[in-house]
Amino acid sequence: MGVRRVMIRVVAGLGLVACLSWPSSPATAACGVFPANNYWHADIRSLPVNPRSAQWLSHMGASTVKLHPDFGPYGTGEAPYGIPITSVAADHPKVSVAFEYSGESDHVLYPLGSDTKIEGGWNSGGDMHAILVDFASCRLYETWNTRRSSAGRWQAGSGATWSLASNALRPDGWTSADAAGLPIYPGLLRWSEVKALSVRHAIRFTTNETSAHHVWPARHDASDITSLTYPPMGARFRLKSSFPETGYSAYARAVIKAMKIYGLVLADNGSRWFFQGEQFAGWPSSLVEELKRIPARYFEAVDTSKLPHTAGSAAVG
């Protein structure tokens, strides 16, 4: 969301993407969302606090800001709002896409078409992410600033594809549909998993100012701020175990539990402490309002360099 790619500078780089079968549709469960030892599903409760946690939180306004669920049954210019997911069949027609960031995009054919759901709606002028999943081949496709010209040609700011059965990372320094070079799909909160009281992955979120650095598992950054006192792309934040859950519904507690166990992953520039979920009309308004009550001051950045991992892979341990 928001400001896009600028400088590429690496602080740390190694693995990414993780596993789990979402409690969604049978097709989703059969395919899975990356292997089970994937970074997105790593339990971070025992990780040490990052030495720069206080500095990062200060620049993110954590002392005064509350979390904001960037999804729900209502929105400006669209209802519902969130990031939509389009499921495509194996025989869905595929098209070539012209990319603005061509050198860092995957030049394959994408299953885009008139059935494609685009964040904010077609020609909305926002981030216009498109997430397409072929569950037959376990292949994920994501594009940013997705458009189709009057002549029917597809264009996007950038695009990336992943095998949902692999922990392989993008080349270090490459963007994706996200400024951090990460896949968006595994970090989206879904109503199906919240309803099942089983959220077992980290959640994607944004902040307004980041540094011109990235840490594993991110592959890319998007800022001209060189100071390390600003959070880098890929930074992971954990809700403290001391955060009181009294007064929250079972659904809200399921999300809170995930934030304590798996945390939040900084994946893009945008509004401070906005965390993303799938576009779905059935999100309960009461749940969305509950999640807005969580103060950012209860979070702390963790040192992900302490996670056991191998170079070029998202696998943990």
User: pLDDT tens across 124-147, in order?
Assistant: 888 999 999 999 999 999 999 999
Look up the pTM and report it: 0.90
Give backbone dihedrals phi and psi of 94, rounded to 5 degrees, phi first. -120, 150
Q: Count of H helices and E strands in the chain?
A: 5, 13
pLDDT at 79: 65
Q: pLDDT per residue over 274-311, tens digit each? A: 999 999 999 999 999 999 999 999 999 999 999 988 87
CA dihedral 218, 219, 222, 226 (to 10 degrees): 80
Q: pLDDT per residue over 88-122, tens digit each? A: 999 999 999 999 999 999 999 999 999 999 999 98
Tokens of 123: 């020609």
Q: What is the average pLDDT across 67-88?
A: 86
pLDDT at 27: 39
Q: Is the pLDDT of residue 76 over 60?
A: no
User: What is the overall mean pLDDT for the chain?
Assistant: 90
pLDDT at 124: 87
**Cβ–Cβ under 8 Å, residues 110 and 304:** no
Q: Is the pLDDT of residue 3 over 70?
A: no
CA proximity to 36, closest of 21, 14, 16:
21
pLDDT at 145: 97
Q: pLDDT per residue over 164-184, tens digit each? A: 999 999 999 999 999 999 999
Percentage of the chain exceeding pLDDT 90: 82
